[in-house]
Amino acid sequence: MVRETVLTPDSFIYPLFVHAGAEAVEIASMPGVRRLPVAGLVAECEAAWAVGIPAVAIFPAIAPELKDARGTHGLDVRNVLFAAVREVKTAIPGLTIVTDVALDPYTSHGHDGVLSADEKEVVNDETVEILCELAVKEAEAGADIVAPSDMMDGRVGAIRAALDAAGFENTIILSYAAKYASAYYGPFRDAVGSKIGKDAISKATYQMDPANAMEAVREIALDEAEGADMVMVKPAGAYLDVIRTVREVTDLPLAAYQVSGEYSQIHAGARLGWLDYERTRDESLLAIKRAGADMILTYFAREVAEKLARA
């Protein structure tokens, strides 16, 4: 009766990976998570919908031979993401579909945009032009929410203008407004195939310094002014203070992404016998909600929703 924070399935956005292959592929660094063929993705979405999860976020894993320095396959009509969105929307019209707006699944260098001539940084404005085209194509395929995760300056306003011009005034923008250059993203990069070589690439020229909290407030204000409908803090677990700070300065719906490294370390600790898997999993999600997140992107979404349905 006096519990202040409650987890419910409608708090979750379920991240899923899709590829053009015929079979599901296990992701070694993310136990229990797989790259799914389109048919398997539809089935997983149906299972999530059945236990009350209202939204999924779909990320494509693209074959290496389709990647190039500019990420041109992202705009190709044969992009598996577009096919996946259409199939899921046809099968489950009520399910909200979130799509990622960034070039890292499609670039041969693994960065979120086009590199400068010396390959030392991502070129902001040229990247934003491509992201606008990608967002419109995702909306055309049936995405309800487009989520720019690239952290380019000015991209929210540009995407809003592009969507409106294309007749998608009602397509929602969920901005990765406070996305940190975090060490917790490694398993995700394995999942989408954006990890190039043995060493992690640095995205510190466009993602945020983990030392900064007030910068998040400025980033949120900028994206809100440009027309973001929702904002996100990423990662979640190591940035609970940022979630709380952002919650206090914006009335927009606030999402937080419990990223791949957070998910995998709970699995790893439990496999070593050092953590109670279910209790640690549930506590980690409760902490994110308690900090102020309205929505949580988490790979635990389906299993926790199933547990809640049994309760």
Q: Which residues are catalytic?
A: 179, 234
What is the rounded distance in angstroms from the CA atom of residue 135 to the CA atom of residue 6?
Answer: 34
What is the rounded distance in angstroms from the CA atom of residue 206 to the CA atom of residue 257?
Answer: 18
What is the rounded distance in angstroms from the CA atom of residue 25 to the CA atom of residue 33?
Answer: 9
219 is in an annotated binding site: yes
- Show the tokens assigned to 292: 């102020």
User: Which residues lie closer than 8 Å to 147 by C-beta, 6 or more apart?
Assistant: 57, 98, 99, 100, 101, 173, 174, 175, 176, 232
Residue 95: CB atoms within 10 Å: 18
Cis, bond preceding 15 (omega within 30 deg of 0):
no
What is the rounded distance in angstroms from the CA atom of residue 60 to the CA atom of residue 63?
Answer: 10
* Dihedral pair phi/psi, residue 237, rounded to 5°: -60, -40
Cβ contact 115:204 at 8 Å? no
218: nearest Cα among 204, 229, 208 = 208
What is the rounded distance in angstroms from the CA atom of residue 10 to the CA atom of residue 136?
Answer: 27
Tell me the three state secondary structure of residue 21. coil
149: nearest Cα among 181, 119, 121 = 181
Sign for the CA dihedral angle at 286, 289, 294, 299 comes to negative
Beta-ladder partners of 17: 35, 59
Binding site listing for Mg(2+): 219
